[in-house]
Amino acid sequence: FEDYTEKELLQILTDLVREGSGQWKLADEKHARIAARRMARQSGTIGFGNARAVRNLLDLSLKRQAARVLEERQQGLSPDVFLIERGDLLGPKGLDVGKCEALVKLQGMCGLDMVKQAVEQLIKLVETNAEFEDQEKKIFDVTLNKVFFGNPGTGKTTVAKIYGAILKAMGLLSKGDVIIKIPQDFIGEALGQSEA
């Protein structure tokens, strides 16, 4: 079977919202279109789950929604318990710089000016993309993969783990896992066995 189109993913999402409790509602249909567009960009990639991806997104959205409602109630507000807002469905628009422990840790590290600057640029790009998404404009591609190289003891592994945690805090990774490889990991024992 072929992957679902953006339009079909949107239909699946809106159907699931309606079928849920019969009372769920989206604050703005535009947010569902943005979510479908995000999922459609993953089409054809390893691990993309089509309708399962939509269901997983809705499950995550309802967890975010429940946490938001609880927090608002603790603040003395009276939120609509069936309303799914932008942040519930799409995640945070950007990174709350003061609350991201990993970013605070990176900023507190000695040196690493180029790394800090690259992370700042990434944060600005993600915020710009969020604004473009809200306007339903084309967004900029974001490359998350990084190679950290340098002499031993310069902080490569530490910074890579912090970078993964920052990406997770921004909602760009689900786990924030970092895979650490050394040159020997890419060399096979026989001709043709090396990793690509």
Per-residue pLDDT tens for 177-186? 777 777 777 7
Q: Is 159 exposed, middle or buried (0-12, 13-18, 19+ CB in 10 A)?
A: buried
* Average pLDDT score over residue span 24-33: 95
Q: Which of 19-28, 49-58, 66-75, 108-117 has the lowest mean pLDDT?
A: 19-28
Q: Which of 49-53, 60-64, 75-79 has the lowest mean pLDDT?
A: 49-53
Are the beta carbons of 39 and 53 closer than 8 angstroms? yes
* Average pLDDT score over residue span 6-31: 91
Query: Mean pLDDT for the chain?
Result: 89
Binned at pLDDT 50, 70 and 90, residue 103 comes out as: very high
Torsions phi, psi for 109 (to 5 deg): -80, 150
pLDDT at 25 over 60: yes
pLDDT for 21: 66
Binned at pLDDT 50, 70 and 90, residue 36 comes out as: very high
Distance CA 61, CA 73 (A): 18
pLDDT at 66 over 90: yes
pLDDT for 82: 94
Stronger pLDDT, 43 or 85, i.e. the higher one: 85
Give, in order, the Cα–Cα distances in Å from 122 to each of 82, 143, 148: 34, 9, 16
pLDDT for 194: 64
Q: Is 60 exposed, middle or buried (0-12, 13-18, 19+ CB in 10 A)?
A: middle
pLDDT for 123: 92
Prediction pTM value: 0.77
Distance CA 57, CA 45 (A): 17
